[in-house]
Structure 1
Amino acid sequence: MLALSRLSVRFRLSAAIAVLFGLILLVSLIGMRVLNRTEMWMNVLHQDTLTEVSDALDLSRRAADLATSAPFLYALFPPFQLEQEAQSVLSNLRSIEDHAARDPALDLPLARLRLAIDDLTTALVPQTARKAELTAIDRDMLRLNGRVRRLSGDTTLPLAEREVWAGLQQLTASAIGAGRADALIELGEFTRRYKRVRDQIVPGLTAVHRETFDEIETALSRSDSLFVLKHRELAAQLDAENALFRIRQEAGRISTYAEEKVAQAEARLSQARAETSDNLGVAKNSFLALTLMSLLVAITSSLYVSRYVARNLRRVADAMRKLAAGDHRSDLPRARVSEDEIGQLFAAFQVFRENARKLDRRTGQIRRQNALFSRVFRNIKDGVAISAADGRIEAENDKLRSLLRLPPEEAEEPANMQALIDRSAFTRQVSAGERGGFEEYTDASGHVLELRHSPLPDGGAVWLLSETTERKRIDERLEEIRRVETLGKVAGEVAHDFGNILSSISGNLHLLKRADDEQARYLRTRIGSAVDLGVSLTERLLAFARKQHLEPQVTDLSMLVEGMADLLEIALPENISLDFDLPAEPVNALVDPGQMESAILNLCVNAGQAIEGAGRICVSVGTGQDGGAQLSIRDDGCGMTPEVLHRATEPFFTNRSDGSGTGLGLSMVDGFVHQSGGRLDITSRIEPPERGTTVTLNFPPLKAEEAPQEVALQAPGTALVVDDDPAYLDSAGKALERIGYTLHRASSFAEGAAQIRELPQLDLLLSDLNLDNGASGWDLLQLGAGLHPDCQLILMSTRRIGRIPESLRGSPGLASLAKPVTDADIRSLIAQTAQRPEA
């Protein structure tokens, strides 16, 4: 027994299967012996009866194959396939004739069958060509039908012309129906309809319709007309169907004859079957004895599986169910544990139970942690909510609704955080702090709530709602103190400066009483300097008060903005893109250019500070509804709430998060625009997708006497363009040529200097600032001024041009242009330079 217990279940079952296999093999050997003897008898029987049955069955099969393959000729259209299949059918017929050569009863059916096959082949051979022509005609009719249908539905054509097109559409539709007819009656109906429609529309055809009508008539006539081809096709189909019927009829007669032969053979086989049954009886008795032995082996194996394998598996399953239910004390007997698979399963249960006990201890730790989190969640002073990926609130503490001044949670559909806020009395406020990652909400009584949220890995979020009313009041008080401090600083600085100015004037006046003439002139100069300083300080104060002195002149806002492009790009962070929408035509306004540049720079800097991270600022120039100039600056920053927007132009009001602003920038721009006779409009939104602020400066249209006057250009002469960039060299040169200058080009500093020296006369010199190998355009202008004193000198650059060399200062023909150069820029600059007085 000990040795047996060490045997595995697999070995035991394999041994039982081997015994069964041996018994089955023995049964097979006995069966083979009986079958061999039966085979000997069948061989003898085959020589007499089965050969006759085989011939009859073969004849029946070939007749059936012939009846089956003949209709296949009906479905073939390529000539080579039809000919191949016809040869195959005839070959099958010849085989049937060979089998029936010894039986005169089949001579007449076979002759009729051959005649029917010949008729079928004769009817189907021309069908391929007809089918191809009918298909081509159908394709042409579909194309023409689509064309005339489109023209008949064209509402831009006259009604009469559309009616003719509709008739042509009916004509093509009748032709398509005739080509697709399945019966001669249907073909005749379409033929009559086609002739009727054709007779109706022919008198009304015009030159426009005649071409399409002729194309239809031509498409219908190939080797013969569509209707003749279709009639021949349908007639051939009827002939083929008649031939198929005759083939099936004669094949049926051959099959009936074969069945009669088989019936005669079956009678003889019945006698042989009785004799064979006696021999098989002996084999059955042997099979029965061996089957009983196999049954004994199977029962023994079944008892082993049920009593040992199944019982132990059931015990393991019961113990696993108890373990799954939480009973970690359940166990399996350790006595008589074998080393087979059952014993290994018992050992695996012990390991699994130990792991379950460890998991139970870990679950207890997690439960205690959850209890701790639940206490913190309920007792925290702030409102906390956890939302799913779709925004629905899955959990919240009581403090959340308490802070929102809402009643306790009722039995309702789970809401999202925004829905709870909308139901409360609180409204969202946009402030500098919101760009720091939280939102601020206030109600009518002055309570302030701060809302933060953090994303979760599953797409949900954790929301934290805090009461910040007292902190907000302290912040507002501190902001008011800062404003007073700022005003005090400005007032102190102004008082200090004016005190110094007055002291200087007072001291010099005191010294002037006892001074001689020379000293008096010196003292009066010092007094004048002090007065000038006072005037400058007063202008700064007037700028704050919107009463500064302006020097307006007619200014093209497009050119002014284009000239500031480099400065604006430098003033803004790199992650902010700057776009310009400038018209090709001049947009003029009567403004102080310097103050206008300062206002644009101030607004762009403010827009850049309102953008957190990457953003976009667009500067556009256009004409308002009243015909006046209009300049707009739009950003996609955080925007302004209605409260902030209402106070945006107040002096000393700032909404910057770091408190660095003085609140005077937008106020000074507003004062400048109003002093210039215009108005400042601000629109702002804080919600996407239109979030951002747009500041628009509107100026009144120019009066007739203020409009810029055209200045006649002097007769063009010889011009030289120097630039190491081929694109800019080409564009600037073409602009001068269109004006009328005789142009010379130079692509390097050395080439430009050589041409300046070689040209006998030079009327205009246009050079880039930064040339090849570090050379400067100023050097070329100095050389041109020395060799050609009357030459007009123009320097162009993509950047702001710095200091002018000492030798060129005061030169009447000196000017600068910003790249890229246009015809209008050069004409305007040449005209302005021509009006300057000679030095």
Structure 2
Amino acid sequence: MPYLSNLSVRFRLSSALAVLFGLILLVSLIGVLVLNRTELWMNVLHKDTLAEVSDALDLSRESADLATSAPFLHALFPPFQLGQEEEKVVASLNRIEALAAGNGELDLPVARLRFAIDDLTSALKPQTARQADLDAIDRDMVRLNQRVRRLAGDTALPLEEREVWAGLQQLTASAIGAGRANALIELGDFSLRFTRQRSQLLPQLLPVHEETLTEIDQATLRSDNLFALKHRDLAARLDAENALFRIRQEVSRVSTFAEATVAQAEARLSLARAETSNNLEFAKNVFLALTAASLLVAITSSLYVSRYVARNLHLIAEAMRRLAAGNHSTVLPQGPNSEDEIGQLYAAFHVFRESARKLERRTRQIGHQNALFSRVFRNIKDGVAIAATDGSIEAENDNLRQLLRLPPAEEGVRVHVQELVAKSNFSRRTSAVEHGGFEEYADPAGNVLELRRSPLPNGEEVWLLSETTERKRVEQRLEEIRRVEALGKVSGEVAHDFGNILSSISGNLHLLEAADSEEARHLHTRLRSALDLGVSLTERLLAFARKQHLEPQVTDIGLLVEGMADLLEIAVPNSVSMEFEIPTEPVLVKVDPGQLESAVLNLCVNAGQAIGGDGHIQVCVTGDGGAKLSIRDNGSGMSPDVLRRATEPFYSNRDDGSGTGLGLSMVDGFVHQSGGQLSLTSQTEGPHRGTTVTLCFPSLADESGQSDNLVVPGTALVVDDDPAYLASASATLERLGYVVFRAASFSEGRAQLQQQPRLDLVLSDLNLDNGASGWEILQLGHSLFPECRLVLMSTRETHRVPRALVSATRLATLTKPFTESMLRKLVASS
């Protein structure tokens, strides 16, 4: 209203003080009433807390009962006892759920309790029938084992028949071990052993053995496959133990919560009672004192305001009006020498006057800076855009659209930076995370742009677009130079190693010219060591050059991957899950199984490293249109440039520089050496984000019509200072129909050669006792028996043939360890 604006400040302050006094009296009265009601509220709180404590105690008691009852489920196998105990446990859980209703902290533990109890009962219910089947299979296998053991020890039977009975005894022993295994890894070992032993026995079976093998097969397939049945039994036990552990853990959490609730309630009650009593007494006294003080303050303030504050405020207001009108030379008379508000107002006026003068100077400076920014914004070589909080471009320079090869902007049309990029021919190659904060874009012509976004405090953004085509080309040339330098370094180190080997050979050859027989033998040993070192170095170079020695065998890819499942799950991070798709029919190829296992492990480890957090890896084996092994992950994927160079030697895309660049290169070399192909597909975005590596091998031709029984029996001499290999090779030749003479040393081998009137085969190890060489045994055998078949055994492939044996037409080498099939084919060839 108009007449209020004419009232003086003194009148207004006096009126305000009077109103303040009345409000203080009212607050005092209200405070006393509120404090009295607070005491009544504390009594109600006390009663509610007692109810909360009672519920917490009931919850703790029910949790203890559940923790006591749950382990009995694991110890009971009869179904009726299991059902009764399950009803008790479920009843306890229902009471816990009723007590925990409405409490958010207990929702998760109670839900986990129910899941754990369900898992426990689900795992235990089929155990009785499953254990009965396992016991029946075990009894049958023990009976069959005793029978074949008796027949294997019957000396009246032919040796060949007893060897097969001994093999059947090992087969039944493996089945018994599998049925009594206490761990999944132990069961897997017995399963692989049973399969291998059975496949080895099949070619040796005689009609007398077929009925026993049929009984063994029928016993293992009783009710279900023995190994699958035992696997489910062990898995059920692990599930039950896991469920019991979870039950104890969640019950402990519920009990801890109940104890904490009781403790908190008790502490809350005690503290509330003490504080309320003290506050009530103190508040009553304070309110009375404030009431008295308010009267004194009101009277004193009225006098102070009227004589001191109002007059000085009037002077300051007049001076401020003149200052606001632009009169920066306005001055105030000498103010009071005090630190109160009036004194501060006098000081603030002088500060305001100086600030007004500085503001005028600062305005001129800002105008100059804006002009400078405008020149930089228009003339910078990079494209610059300023985007509003909604992402639309508020301002941009001309170079932005020129770099994107787009026409100038239309008047009044606001677009987003992403929309401009989408309209251009540029597509993203790397994200900001992959490229140190920059997004990299390229067009079909090879032009490369870097796009960076910088947020501003008010939510707006500054976008910077730079041309990096020439820099990328220089980086590619530098990368090529680095790869050439790496190859040069490898070549230099290899040359250094070969130089050392040649120096050792040259020095020992000079010493050999003047050495006696004993020293010459020692020098021969050193020369062979140097040559073996050269052979080893050559093999490593061949592996690097994708020409390593392979030992292809008929291999079931599905069975090989299934056997590696546990190893692959350990090799990848815990956050990555493994999924296997393996057909029931065998997928047979002819490859080196050891190299194939190494390739699969290498690819799965790389896939696990490409997944930053949670993810999965899928291993799929198919036999349609040839054998295919695919490994797919949902990791970060590879850009087209990285994908194109992924199999190059020494190329690595790891940011930390830890990669050697040989992993995929070696896998690619192995696949091509095995007659197959490697294909790579990868995406960095979209629902199919990730990488798929597919190994394709030619399908195995049916060789069932070929006969391996081409060996013509004869007389053979086996020379090896290793008792295990000596016994293995001799037993294999005996099974092939040879009459075998054994020699466990070089001297014994020479003696056997000179004693025998006729030999059809001489099989000798390369490195014999006391530094002797198997080549000497073969030279002596060739001189005594020119038509004899000569075979040299060694742990590595060798091509160094002595001059005396160059003319030998029936000379061959055999790499250790060897199989019966390898030896059969070697001695059968002419």
The one of the two structures with greater contact order (alpha-carbon pairs below 8 A, sep at least 6) is 1
| TM interval, short-chain normalised | 0.3 to 0.5
TM-score scaled by length of structure 1: 0.39
Q: Which has the larger radius of gyration?
A: 1
